[in-house]
Amino acid sequence: MAEEAQLTVQTKREIIKGIETTMRSADGLITKPVIETHFGKEVWTHPLMEVLRTSECLCMKCDKLKPDQPDNCKIANELFEVCVKEDVALAVTRCPEWMKLRS
């Protein structure tokens, strides 16, 4: 099982490497960072990562994410605090506590 997961990660890395080879800009990023206003503040934003963050962050598909509820995920609460304090956005790509959405 672990070996299968490793192969999947390797395959993903090869796909990403192919994308990087053909698309990487002079900035060293796949898409050029742009200035956007989020929550009233101008911040540098990576357009591709923004799209991936909203669609692919594990938290967005996790049964433990319950914003504004007392039983919301402790990790998600801590990450949210960092985001608010530092004006950053994060995407969780690894989590030992992830639970598939039931609904």
Q: Which residues bind ligand SF4 (CB under 6 A)?
A: 58-59, 62, 64-65, 73, 75-76, 92, 95, 97-98
Taking the complex as a whole, how short is the minimal distance between the CB of residue 103 and ligand SF4, in angstroms? 15
CA distances to 25, 34, 48, 55, 100 from 29, rounded to whole Å, are 6, 12, 10, 20, 31
CB closer to ligand SF4 out of 30 and 75: 75
Taking the complex as a whole, how short is the minimal distance between the CB of residue 55 and ligand SF4, in angstroms? 14
CB closer to ligand SF4 out of 18 and 67: 67
Taking the complex as a whole, how short is the minimal distance between the CB of residue 66 and ligand SF4, in angstroms? 8
Taking the complex as a whole, how short is the minimal distance between the CB of residue 62 and ligand SF4, in angstroms? 3
- Tell me the residue type at 21: T
76 by Cβ neighbours in 10 Å (0-12 / 13-18 / 19+) ranks as: buried
CB closer to ligand SF4 out of 24 and 61: 61
Q: Could you identify the residue written with the tokens 């994060």? A: 90
- Kindly give, in sequence order, each residue whose CB lies less than 8 Å from that of residue 73, ignoring residues fewer than 6 positions away: 59, 62, 64, 65, 66, 97
